[in-house]
A and B are shown apart, each in its own frame.
Chain A
Amino acid sequence: MFKKKWLTAPYLVFILCGTVIPLLAIFYYGFTDQEGHFTLENITAIADEEHAKALGLALLFALICTVVCLLLAYPVGLILRKHAGGRKGLVVFILILPMWMNFLLRTFAWKALLANNGVLNGILGSLNLDPIRIINTPAAVVLGMVYDFLPFMILPIYNVMVKIDNNLIEAAYDLGASGKTVLTKVLLPLSMPGIISGITMVFVPAVTTFVISQILGGGKIYLIGNIIEQEFTLNGNRQLGSGLSLVMMVFILISMALLNKFDKNGEGSII
């Protein structure tokens, strides 16, 4: 409308220098060995036992985390659609608010809560209940993931839900649909863009995290994110780190494809 295409120029510079060139750099390192010759070894290294195991574990945890987030978030979306339709600002505010308390500290707080001598066990003890011992176990890591990424599932679902026309629901009821039918045949299909967007917003960060597994896993749980981080910070093997990162990018491509299919208009954005 404004006929000023050149206004995108500064942004294009950022896309080029901040996104495109760095991705090319990863490709370059991922496909070369330490002497700079072409190789596929860094990519095929994902099949090495310790890498494959870390990836498998990460995929499993991320899958559980995504499913739990979805199960927790969808009812929230349903309830808020009915009762908080007009207070979008407030809902978003409440969900984003925890992010002003540093992400690492929020995760660390769970360590304080779950520790064997921690806050929760103190409370359980005073109630004469058995202590829970889940710190440094996979359960603690998944809990941390669910906690950290839940808002990214609630927000897109809620955003789609509030846009659903109430008349559609009423029409369905008028035509004799039961509550269950309305949910499965009307609400669920209409909220699909939000669900898909939420799944990608939760799954990708969960599968690549290294911080949560490090803080809540007691150094006993190694995910693919930990391996990549250590290739850069510990082993100084940028080539292998890049190769493994490229493998992770497959998931990003899948996300983009899913979003293009189910959420063409960006209705399910987190905003």
Chain B
Amino acid sequence: MKNFLKRFYLIIILLFLYLPIVTLIVLSFNDTKTMGVWKGFTLKWYQDMFSNPQILNAFCNTLFIALLAAVVSTVVGTVACVGIMALSKRQKNAVLQATNIPLLNADIVTAVALLLAFGMFGISLSLGTVIFAHITFCLPYVILNVLPKLRQTGTIHFEAAQDLGATPLYAFMHIVLPDIMPGVFSGFLLAFTMSLDDFIITYFTRGAGINTISTLVYSQVKVGIRPTIFALSTVIFVIVLVVLLLSNFLPEKAEKAREKAEKEGRELTPEQRKKRRTAKRIGAGIVAAAVVAVCVLASPYVGAMAGKGEVIYFYNYGDYIDPDLISAFEAETGISVVMDTFDTNESMYPIIEGGQVSYDLVVAGDYTIEKMIENKLIQPINYDNIPNAANLEPAYMEILASTDPGNQYMIPYTWGTVGILYNKTMIPEGRITSWKDLWDPELAEHGILMMDSLRDTFMVAELILGYDMNTSDPDELQEVVDLLISQQPLVQAYENDSARDDIITESAGLGMIYSGEYLYCLDENENLDYVIPEEGTNVWFDCFVIPTNAKNKEGAEKFINFMLDAEAGLATFNYLTYPIPNAATMELIDEEIREDENVFPSQETLDLCDRFHYLGREADQVLASYWKRFRGN
């Protein structure tokens, strides 16, 4: 009975540890884009994975970084251990304390410390900074594994070998190293694992276009995760598992047979010996194969690093461009596009302002662009390189010219409104008319989603209170914050792009959403409807801009020109379902959709609306402090 309980307990703990892993593996075979329910078995995510350059790139980066960091830290760490043995007691203590720091330090502190140090020395972020950071936090694991083994081994054999005429290096390689090998191996393994699993440190120290699986997942968490990434991690998990099982346990088993034989004082039977040799060979073979595989995988990347050709670094919202258009552009021009993603204007701006990462092209919201112009972070665009700019709808260009005279800095990519998406099966059609409905306790049981975006979230409360959406008056903002705090108990979650998945899967009944998501969501769940509330809303433009520190301005302009083509505009509309300010594209869109006022609001509705503006540095700080007051509550 007691044993049964013990076993039962262990099984419960194991289940707990492995439940999420099993879930992910199962979901990677699930035939639906939005997770939740089982919709049948499919292998299509595995196919998708191999045709998605972004995912393959992240895969290569992850393994490349982990392998390099693990190898370097193993070599440096093992060598250092030998040196540490020679230190005086006090020196040794100092070094070991320093070794403990990265282990005990919070990841986020280590990460920002490295980021600040790179900044102080003017080192721009790149793959190199990520690898350096990884080596730094991997080293302690190696030291802690090797040092005890080295202590155990002692010096007698080493000295004996030297007495017999071996050079110190030879004696180390042939006498000491085999003895401490288990420690070196587990140090390597742990370093590799920690590097593979790291997110926070990579997130803060990566350069433009450097994505590992972790950072890719993080950007997808906000947009709504796709099963391709589950497929990818399943593949990695299985590869590492198989490699380690075979390389670790086969030789160990054979080793045990040998030890047993030795103990019993008999020779191995020829059969056992043969088995042992094969096991060793298989083990070594698998390790070698894994190393070769990783090198092959990493080679295109290393090639690109060495300067494969023209590249543009593109910073865009998550899932905000048709990937086929990027491939088409690359095929047409031979310029490769490396894209990073962000989720709100507020999180993009400090990256561009910091300048430690440089991009050639950025998609940004109009009010943030005003701020970028004022702080000279972006440069005028050369229209000579963009003949397709003639396709742009003049009415919109005029609106934008009010804050960017002569349309020098920004070229609109998409536009839209913010409204409420709701499920008609839960909430009767026509029931939602006002922003106030998001405060309705009756509707809260269906699940209300709010945006986690400073200006958009504040706007809702500002409009309800009858204030200007561009206010920075502290008294008004305090009321806004109070109103939003009073709503908190009713809100299921504050999220941006991932809100659409929750509404599609009916985990939530209504929520704030950008108008462009409406058609996409309707496609996935026909019970949905979109409303622009009677108080009005924000009309926004997302535009292409070119940062001042761009390295390939012409390439960026070529890309803008490509995107303004009528057909490319149509592809963008079909993929994003966001309105495109492109007159030539509009002619290609089905009339039925063109007349859908949810997507293309009438002039009457637009007259109710306003645009966000940049309010100046001080007002920005006021907004930020009230935002924190609200979010921290």
Contacts and interface: CB of A to CB of B under 8 A. Distances in A.
Interface of A: 1-12, 14-15, 17-26, 28-29, 49-51, 53-54, 72, 75-76, 79-80, 83, 89, 93-110, 112-113, 115-119, 122, 136, 147, 150-151, 200, 204-205, 207-208, 210-211, 214-215, 218-220, 222, 225, 227-230, 232-236, 238, 241-242, 245, 248-249, 251-252, 255-256, 259, 266, 269, 271
A76 B8 CA distance: 11
Given A2-B85, A25-B119, A99-B193, 7 more contacts: A2-B158, A2-B172, A19-B102, A98-B21, A115-B36, A232-B112, A271-B186
Interface of B: 6, 9-10, 13-14, 16-21, 23-24, 27, 35-37, 76-77, 79-80, 82-87, 95, 97-102, 104-110, 112-117, 119-120, 132-133, 135-136, 139, 141, 143-145, 148, 154-155, 158, 168, 172, 186, 190, 193-194, 196-200, 204, 213-214, 217-218, 221, 225, 229-230, 233-234, 236-237, 240-241, 244, 248, 252, 346-347, 349-351, 353-354, 447, 452, 488, 491-495, 505-507, 624, 628-629, 631-633
A109 B20 contact: yes
5 nearest CB pairs, A to B: A50-B632, A218-B493, A18-B136, A7-B83, A219-B494
Contacts of A245: 108-109, 112-113
A22 B104 contact: no
A102 B168 contact: no
B104 A255 contact: yes
A18 B145 contact: no
B362 to A, nearest CB: 16
A11 B233 contact: no
A271 B86 CA distance: 24
A1 B155 contact: yes
10 contacts: A10-B79, A18-B133, A21-B117, A22-B110, A23-B101, A97-B241, A100-B193, A105-B230, A136-B493, A147-B20
A54 B632 contact: yes
Contacts of A115: 36, 505, 507
Contacts of A242: 112, 116
A84 to B, nearest CB: 9
A211 B629 contact: no
B158 A1 contact: yes
B99 A18 contact: no
B498 to A, nearest CB: 10
A4 B83 CA distance: 5
Contacts of A116: 447, 507
B106 A122 contact: no
Nearest to B101: A19
B495 A113 contact: no
Contacts of A233: 347, 350-351
B181 to A, nearest CB: 14
Contact of A15 (B87, B99, B346): B99
Contacts of A25: 113, 116-117, 119-120
A29 B119 CA distance: 11
B158 A18 contact: no
Contacts of B633: 50, 53
Contacts of A19: 98, 101-102, 136
A85 B348 CA distance: 52
A189 to B, nearest CB: 23
